[in-house]
Structure 1
Amino acid sequence: MGVQVKGSTASRVTAIRSLRQVIALKRPSWRMWEEDRPFSPALLTPLLVIVLASVAALFTPHLEFYRLLGAAPALAAAMFSVAGTLGIGLLTLIAGFVISAADHTLERTPGIFTLITVAAVTLAAAYASQVRQHRERTLAEVRSVAETAQRVLLRPVPHHLGHIDVEVLYQAAAAQARIGGDFYEAQQTSHGVRLIIGDVRGKGLPAVEAASVVLSSFRVFVEDAPHLPDLAHRLETSISRYGEDVASDDALERFVTVLLVEIPAGEPIARLVNCGHPPPLLLHGGEVCEVEPSAPSPPLNMAALLGEQHYQVDTIPFGTGDSLLLYTDGVSETRDGIGTFYPLAQRVRRWALASPRQLLDHLHQDLRAYVHGTRDDDLAALVAHRVTPCDLESAELGGLRPLRSTGPDIG
């Protein structure tokens, strides 16, 4: 079955142009950032050092507390601008001059040496302040770009899509990052609500780029694809062509696990195509069931390597009040201090009757308490909850029926 994928290239070009335009508009003003910096009591520390050292030096001249005055401009470099640091240094010199004059040491070597030392420390502190400001400005710009990229690539998902409520949880592995190789999307189509969650093998910017290719292709084809296997095939073709265009061995070997879900409005069911992704959890009547695929489907960008493009559709009962928890391996493969994987199904059972937002909030807090040390993987989770009864929901859905394969396969 041939599939036209011309739209995939156009979607990538459009996404890149939009990203550049938004970045240009959202680039932060450094002057504004400085003006908006909130006041902190720590800003008074250099002045406190000047006052305490001066008082101690005047009352106990034999202990030579005036030698501590150089700490004031050094501290100022960590929190003030260059002008502010020089101002603190000037106040320090004045205090040193007054102390030397009071002790009658102004013309002696110790007093002169102290003033020279304070002046040298002030100049060094001013330079350090300039370097710090440059790094803070660079970090602020990088954060702004990352946040903008996240809004372009991982757009906010509507909380209500027809008969389905949707909530998401996302956290990048890097402490200062906003995006990573995990991704998700949910859209209302004529076929029902269609969802995707995926994970790119690897980390860093190459993983983000591969995720953007899959997401942009999903947004282009999600409405036109008549069924999930066809949609999976189009995504496979897009990521394969991306690897060929980049002409990189790493890009050619970078595979993507995805889970595609379709929830029609008129039937109490959900259809799933699992391409090497962790199985979702079905929450029904307070019970939690892991939905394993009835037959394996290859991850994206591996169909050619495996010599097959067979995408299996599984249908599960999904009635009013049921929820599907989709997640990446950053959730299920979180380890504790002894290396034990996070028992996701067991933990989620405690929150099976919670609302989607509450469920993800509980999950996030529990993961943070469970993990040992620093996270080394991105994580994403999405909950789809059916809230509106469908026309055919008169069938018995008291328990999970065996999964059955439906719909056409592409192979």
Structure 2
Amino acid sequence: MRAPSVGRTSVGRWCLGHLQLLPVVLLLGGAVLDYHTSPHVSAEAFYTAAPMTAAALLSLRATVLAGIGACAADIALLTHFGFVDNSGGVSELAAVATVSALAIGVNRLMYYSNVRLQAARRIALAVQRAVLPQLPASIGPLQIAVRYRAAVKDAQIGGDLYSAQDTPYGVRCLVGDVRGKGMDAVKVVDVAMGVFREAAEEEPTLVGIAARLERALVRERARRKGPERTEGFVTGVLVEIPHRGDELRLVNRGHPAPLLLHAGQVRSAEPSEPALPLGLAELGAERDRTDTVPFPSGATLLLYTDGLNEARNHAGDFYDPASGLTGRDFPGPDVLLDTLLTGVSRHTGGRITDDLALLAVSRGRGRTGERDPVNR
């Protein structure tokens, strides 16, 4: 068994903690070098590097103290060697003081830039959270859990989406992944979520829901200009779990196949026929096909986006979610999803390079009721 690797996040924190000591090391090293070498050998480079390093790594107060320390050390050594009053000594001290002042300015610029960036990230993620629903913990005998992890970079957010709602036809779910990033992707998420919420209540079949999503996404893409017209399609899985019976129905539009967990076994619910993503049906003549698979009492359905199965480790190997779930029994969907997130984080060393959405639905152990007589 491979020993668990140290997470990149933990390593990064360890390195940052030690790097924060670098200004002190530069000051002490410069002073020692200046004191124990020839009077004509200057450690000016160390004295100027200390406040600049503090500006990048530490607070304003620490940067000011590093600048004061650099000037004080330079004055002390110049006085020791009798150079404090000559032109060379004054020039050196002026350079150290000037760089120290610049370091304070750099520290403030970096601080305000980081504040703006963090605000933009919070706003962007808040927008996406407003679009994605807060799912109930249970609907009838079904337990539901969801997890979302964004690969945030420079306030760019992705387009993973999920939903689950109770309808006259059963509990219907959607998990999808929009092609593209940023606010354009969020717009597509907004369109898809709005159409799904309405269609799930009105359409008697999953094929009907897929058709309405298709039309809406084609209209949305037609409003774009230039290269962006090629984006906006969505890979997705539509699920229907009838109120009665022990089966569920799936329509898969170019998305990773869901996993079915039951009695320690993990089975991939592959579509009977491949299909193009939502928004691209015009490129093919295939019609949507609904697949029916068993969903007995005690089973769990796992829906996920490709941020899970395409997560790579340092060797470039993809993460296999089924391998870590086989032979295990989970008390509920929350535990299952937390286990998955821990596993993929360990596999990648803590790197998140793509958005990740997970939705798990478990049927409680008990009576399943009569089988739903309608086969859509």
CA distance in 1, matches of 2:26, 2:348: 41
CA distance in 1, matches of 2:317, 2:60: 50
CA separation of 1:56 and 1:340: change in aligned 2, threshold 3 A: closer
CA distance in 1, matches of 2:267, 2:188: 31
Are 1:319 and 2:296 an aligned pair? yes
Identity of aligned residues (%): 35
Offset, 1:259: 0.7
Give a deviation string over 1:185-231, Cα, whole Å, max 9, x none. Answer: 12233433221111223445443432332123223433233332222
5 Å matches for 1:266-277?
266-277=244-255
Aligned match of 1:196: 174
Offset, 1:405: 9.7
1:119 to 97, 114, 122: 97
Offset, 1:42: 6.8
Equivalent residues of 2:220, 2:232 under 8 A apart: no
CA distance in 2, matches of 1:138, 1:201: 27
Q: Give 5+ residue unaligned stretches, structure 2.
A: 1-16
SS of 2:114's equivalent in the other structure is: helix
Aligned match of 1:7: none
Aligned match of 1:227: 205
CA separation of 1:243 and 1:113: change in aligned 2, threshold 3 A: same
Are 1:359 and 2:336 an aligned pair? yes
Equivalent residues of 1:171, 1:178 under 8 A apart: no
SS of 2:122's equivalent in the other structure is: helix
CA distance in 1, matches of 2:80, 2:91: 16
1:350 to 314, 317, 327: 327
Are 1:257 and 2:235 an aligned pair? yes
Are 1:306 and 2:281 an aligned pair? no
Are 1:146 and 2:87 an aligned pair? no
Paired residues in the alignment total 359
CA distance in 2, matches of 1:337, 1:91: 42
Give a deviation string over 1:131-150, Cα, whole Å, max 9, x none. Answer: 32232123212221232123
Aligned match of 2:216: 238
Equivalent residues of 1:172, 1:178 under 8 A apart: no
CA distance in 2, matches of 1:80, 1:353: 44
5 Å matches for 1:30-49?
46=23
Q: Which residue type is aligned with residue 181 of structure 1? A: G
Give a deviation string over 1:224-257, Cα, whole Å, max 9, x none. Answer: 3333222222211211111122245543564222
CA distance in 2, matches of 1:80, 1:300: 48
CA distance in 1, matches of 2:108, 2:200: 50
Offset, 1:178: 7.5
CA distance in 2, matches of 1:43, 1:371: 26
CA distance in 1, matches of 2:68, 2:352: 46
Equivalent residues of 2:156, 2:182 under 8 A apart: no
5 Å matches for 1:14-93?
46=23, 50=27, 62=39, 67=44, 68-80=46-58, 85-86=63-64, 88-93=66-71
CA separation of 1:155 and 1:103: change in aligned 2, threshold 3 A: farther
Larger CA deviation: 138-147 vs 289-298: 289-298
CA separation of 1:384 and 1:178: change in aligned 2, threshold 3 A: farther
1:160 to 128, 134, 138: 138
SS of 1:199's equivalent in the other structure is: strand
Equivalent residues of 1:154, 1:185 under 8 A apart: yes
CA distance in 2, matches of 1:345, 1:66: 59
Aligned match of 2:162: 184
5 Å matches for 1:284-299?
284-299=262-277
Aligned match of 1:131: 109
Aligned match of 2:10: none
Give a deviation string over 1:274-304, Cα, whole Å, max 9, x none. Answer: 2232221211222222223334554311223
Aligned match of 2:375: 406
- TM-score normalised to structure 1 length: 0.72
Q: Which residue type is aligned with residue 222 of structure 2? A: E
Offset, 1:66: 6.1
Offset, 1:318: 1.9
CA separation of 1:84 and 1:346: change in aligned 2, threshold 3 A: closer
SS of 1:265's equivalent in the other structure is: coil
Equivalent residues of 1:47, 1:72 under 8 A apart: yes
CA distance in 2, matches of 1:334, 1:54: 48
Aligned match of 2:3: none
Q: Which residue type is aligned with residue 406 of structure 1? A: N
Give a deviation string over 1:352-377, Cα, whole Å, max 9, x none. Answer: 54532332233233334445996654
Q: Give 5+ residue unaligned stretches, structure 1.
A: 1-39, 396-403
5 Å matches for 1:201-216?
201-216=179-194
CA separation of 1:101 and 1:192: change in aligned 2, threshold 3 A: same
Offset, 1:57: 5.7
Equivalent residues of 1:284, 1:322 under 8 A apart: yes
Offset, 1:87: 5.5
Equivalent residues of 2:50, 2:67 under 8 A apart: yes
CA distance in 2, matches of 1:139, 1:242: 29
Offset, 1:114: 2.4
Q: Which residue type is aligned with residue 113 of structure 1? A: S
Equivalent residues of 2:296, 2:368 under 8 A apart: no
